[in-house]
C-alpha cells in the first residue's frame, strides 16, 4: 500500500517542517485546512505564512520512498481556511418567516 508524503513550508523560516504520511492528498488538505482554520493552532495564527506541498510517496510493501519532482504545491494556508459551518446556509429574515408561518393558514 502506498502512502502520500507531505510537508509544510514556513515562509518565515525559509524551511520545510517535518514531513508526514497520509493515505491521500484529500486527507492532507483536510488536516492542513483544519490546522490553518484554528486560531489557537500555530498554523492558524499566521496561515498566509505556510504552504502545503506533496513531496513524495512511500510504499510500505517494499519500504520504497519516491520523491516527487517538482514538488506539488497545494496552496497557502490562507487559501484553505474553512468557512463557518452556517455561512453558506440561507438566513431567513422576518418577512420570509412571516410568509412561511402565514402559508400554513394560521394568522
Q: Residue 83 has what pLDDT?
A: 72
**Percent of the chain predicted with pLDDT > 90:** 75
How far is CA 51 from its chain centroid?
11
In the predicted structure, residue 62 carries a pLDDT above the cut 90? yes
> How far apart, in Å, do the first and last CA atoms of the chain sit?
64
| Dist. CA 4–CA 19, nearest whole Å | 10
Please state the pTM of the whole predicted model: 0.75
- Average pLDDT, stretch 74-88? 79
> Which range, of 38-42, 76-80, 92-96, averages the lowest pLDDT?
92-96
- Average pLDDT, stretch 13-34? 96
Q: Which residues pair with 58 in a beta bridge?
A: 3, 65
Q: Which residues pair with 66 in a beta bridge?
A: 57
- Which of the pair, 52 or 103, is modelled with greater confidence? 52
- Give 85-107 pLDDT, tens digit per residue: 555 555 555 555 555 455 555 44
Phi and psi at residue 100, to the nearest 5°:
-65, -45
Q: Residue 56 has what pLDDT?
A: 98
Q: Indicate the average pLDDT of the chain.
A: 86
Q: What is the largest CA-CA distance in the chain?
A: 73
Amino acid at each position: 500500500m502506498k502512502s502520500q508524503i507531505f510537508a509544510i513550508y514556513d515562509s518565515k523560516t525559509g524551511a520545510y517542517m517535518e514531513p508526514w504520511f497520509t493515505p491521500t492528498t484529500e486527507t492532507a488538505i483536510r488536516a492542513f485546512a483544519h490546522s490553518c482554520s484554528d486560531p489557537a493552532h500555530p498554523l492558524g495564527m499566521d496561515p498566509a505564512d505556510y504552504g502545503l506541498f506533496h513531496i513524495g510517496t512511500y510504499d510500505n510493501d517494499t519500504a520504497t520512498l519516491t520523491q516527487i519532482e517538482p514538488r506539488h504545491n497545494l496552496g497557502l494556508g490562507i487559501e484553505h481556511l474553512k468557512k463557518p459551518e452556517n455561512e453558506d446556509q440561507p438566513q431567513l429574515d422576518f418577512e420570509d418567516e412571516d410568509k412561511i408561518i402565514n402559508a400554513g393558514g394560521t394568522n
